[in-house]
Every structure is written in structure tokens, then in C-alpha cells.
């Protein structure tokens, strides 16, 4: 089967932050003046990824949605506390700017649980072992200098009560995210 074909959807499960988180992140970006090419993410693209499923055959989608629905109903709501604005990924040449949140056990358990569920559908799945909760604010194609990032305005912490399954399509204007389903945590 050809990747990206009509028989597959590029899927990810994530957290949609509320306005108290998004508005400060969007206003923060206006403070940064840096040479180079920075592509700022639009508000509708801002999210925290819980699990990236990748190219998923459409025939698996009903089973995946059912599994996510059952699992979400058993998972407790949790919070994410803002940590910092930073160049990312850590330990590598910067390619992005993140609003990073504290990694906590509730987030890690949620990531592990949904990764385990997806492996039931796709046993060949490879996971990241220690994901950092973050919102990608911008992507960088070229920078001549890496200025210190301002740390205000500080976004509100995120109360995670719902997860969203999105499809990501690569269009000429960039990635377009389409919401497929929402799942309420208990």
C-alpha cells in the first residue's frame, strides 16, 4: 500500500489547549525578533501530542476510535504545568520553538497507555520512550543567531480533560489538521 494514499490517514492523538494557554503563547511570539526564517504555527495547529500513530489504514480507524473511547473513559484527567519557552529539540541543533510543559507521571502514563493500545492494532509500531509535553510554536528553516527567549507572558497550565484524534494532511500551504474524534477523560 502506498504511503499517504486515500486508503491511509496520518493520525495523531493530542491535547487541545484552551484560550488561557493559547493567547499568551500567540502574543509571546510577537516579542521575538530574530534573523532567519521562522514559520509561526497558527492557533488551530497548536496542540500537545500524546501519541503519533502515523500512516494508518482507514479500515483500522473504527477499531482505533473504539479503543480510544474505551481507554479514555478509564483514564483520569490530569494537568500540565508550564515550564519554559525553548529552542528545540533539546540536545540538537534548533529546528523549532516550543512552549514546554513539565513532564509528569500522569502524562507519561497516558502516553504509554495509548501507545500500548495502538500496538494492538499495529505491532510494528515504534515509540518514543520519554516524550516531553510541548506545543510547537514555530518551525525554523534557517537562523543566523539564537537569541535568548523571553519567558513572559506565561501561558496558563493545561487541565487535560479531553483528547482529540486528528488527521494531518500535507497541503501546499503546510500541514492541515482535521479533527476526527474527541475523547473525554474520566
Cell of 115: 501507545
Could you tell me the end-to-end alpha-carbon distance of the chain, in angstroms, rounded to an integer? Answer: 37
Query: In the chain, where are the structural domains located?
Result: 8-184
Q: How many CB atoms lie within 10 A of CB 184?
A: 12
Question: Is domain 8-184 in CATH 3.90.1140.10, yes or no?
Answer: yes
Q: Give per-residue pLDDT as tens, 95-108.
A: 999 999 999 999 99
Q: Give per-residue pLDDT as tens, 10-67.
A: 999 999 999 999 999 998 987 776 556 788 898 999 999 999 888 999 998 999 999 9
**What span, in angstroms and rounded, lies between the C-alpha atoms of 159 and 41?**
22
Amino acid at each position: 500500500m502506498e504511503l499517504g494514499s486515500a486508503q491511509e490517514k496520518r493520525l495523531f492523538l493530542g491535547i487541545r489547549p484552551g484560550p488561557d494557554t493559547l493567547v499568551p503563547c500567540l502574543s509571546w511570539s510577537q516579542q521575538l525578533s530574530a534573523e532567519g526564517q521562522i514559520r509561526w504555527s497558527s492557533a488551530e495547529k497548536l496542540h500537545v501530542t500524546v501519541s503519533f500513530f502515523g500512516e494508518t489504514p482507514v479500515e483500522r480507524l473504527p477499531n482505533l476510535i473504539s479503543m480510544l473511547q474505551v481507554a479514555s473513559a478509564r483514564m483520569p484527567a490530569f494537568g500540565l504545568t508550564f515550564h519554559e519557552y525553548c529552542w528545540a529539540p533539546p540536545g540538537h541543533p534548533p529546528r523549532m520553538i516550543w512552549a514546554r510543559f513539565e513532564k509528569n507521571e500522569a502524562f507519561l502514563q497516558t502516553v504509554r497507555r495509548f501507545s500500548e493500545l495502538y500496538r494492538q492494532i499495529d505491532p510494528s509500531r515504534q515509540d518514543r520512550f520519554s516524550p516531553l509535553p510541548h506545543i510547537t510554536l514555530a518551525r525554523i528553516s534557517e537562523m543566523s543567531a539564537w537569541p535568548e527567549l523571553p519567558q513572559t507572558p506565561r501561558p496558563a497550565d493545561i487541565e487535560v480533560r479531553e483528547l482529540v484524534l486528528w488527521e494531518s494532511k500535507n497541503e501546499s500551504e503546510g500541514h492541515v489538521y482535521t479533527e476526527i474524534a474527541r475523547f473525554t477523560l474520566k
